[in-house]
Amino acid sequence: MKPISMTLFASALLAVALPVQAAGDPKAGQLKTSMCAGCHGIPGWRTAYPSVYSVPKLGGQHADYIVAALKAYKTGERDHPSMKGIAGSLSEQDMEDLAAYYASSYSGPAK
Amino acid sequence: MIRPLFLLAACLLVSPVHAKGNAEAGKAKSAACAACHGQVGVSEVSNFPTLAGQHRDYLYHALRDYKSGKRKNPIMAGQVASLSDADMADLAKYYSQLPGLTLKY
């Protein structure tokens, strides 16, 4: 094969092999933040149990990382009582939307 | 009565200094972190979290959980194995001071 067709073939393979990202929608995510904002949206808010530390900032965090964290809470791989309960109630689409919202610069409809 | 009070006061004075870490010392220890979390704590790989601007005590807590095994991640388990408590406090302080993450409602 010529180098160009090799490259094309390789890119086509790659495109097929890469998992389709169920890209989240920041606008849909913004509408689903009611359970998050009570802790993650309050300056200086700290966890109450089982140990006390500041609730992490989510603004500007990578969407993929947020989705991975939510899934880990849901399966119990990552352990936190409140997050287990909340992540457990989210669908995969909810997680993608929320992650897209926090990762993005979108901050809600203009008022 | 004076002695216990003095001891208590001394503890209060001493412990926070250690717990809060030293940003300069943290920067000097951050080379290994930069490979995944970025040169200034803003990760270029979406699977790896951005650390810049994250709360100091959250970062410290995460490192301690990786060290104790409460939080499980093969990469991080290897990274924290050689870190002392002071190292973790220093790194947490360093990354918390860099511009990056924001509080988002």
**pLDDT at residue A12, as a whole number:** 59
**Cα B6 to Cα B19: distance, rounded to the nearest angstrom:** 20
Cβ–Cβ gap B49/A62 under 8 Å:
yes
Kindly state whether residue B29 falls inside one of the protein's structural domains.
yes
Q: Tell me the H-state helices in chain A.
A: 3-17, 26-30, 34-40, 63-75, 81-88, 92-103
Structural domains of chain A, with CATH: 24-103 (1.10.760.10)
pLDDT band with cut points at 50, 70 and 90 for residue A51 = confident
Surface-to-core class of residue A98, CB atoms within 10 Å of its CB (0-12 exposed, 13-18 middle, 19+ buried): buried
Share of chain B above pLDDT 70, in %: 82
Domain count, chain B: 1
- Average pLDDT estimate for B34-57: 97
CB-CB neighbors (< 8 A) of A40 in chain B: 103-104
pLDDT tens string B70-97: 999 999 999 999 999 999 999 999 999 9
Kindly state whether residue B10 falls inside one of the protein's structural domains.
no
Kindly state whether residue B27 falls inside one of the protein's structural domains.
yes
Kindly state whether residue B102 falls inside one of the protein's structural domains.
no
**pLDDT at residue B95, as a whole number:** 98
- Average pLDDT estimate for A71-98: 96
> Has residue A53 got a pLDDT over 60?
yes
pLDDT band with cut points at 50, 70 and 90 for residue B12 = low
The alpha carbon of residue B2 is apart from the nearest alpha carbon of chain A, in Å, by 31
CB-CB neighbors (< 8 A) of B105 in chain A: 33, 37, 41, 107
Report, in this order, helix, strand and coil percent for chain B, each rounded to 5: 60, 0, 35
Alpha carbon of A45 to those of B64, B80, B95: distances in Å? Answer: 20, 27, 19
Alpha-carbon torsion B3, B8, B11, B17, what sign?
A: negative
CB-CB neighbors (< 8 A) of B100 in chain A: 60
CATH number at residue B29: 1.10.760.10
Q: Are B64 and B88 in contact (CB under 8 A)?
A: yes
Kindly state whether residue B52 falls inside one of the protein's structural domains.
yes
**pLDDT at residue B46, as a whole number:** 96
Tokens 């180098």 — which residue? A3
The alpha carbon of residue A22 is apart from the nearest alpha carbon of chain B, in Å, by 15
Kindly state whether residue B90 falls inside one of the protein's structural domains.
yes
Pick the closest to residue A59 from A100, A31, A97, A87 (CA basis). A100
The alpha carbon of residue A35 is apart from the nearest alpha carbon of chain B, in Å, by 11
**pLDDT at residue A47, as a whole number:** 87
Range of the domain at B28: 21-97
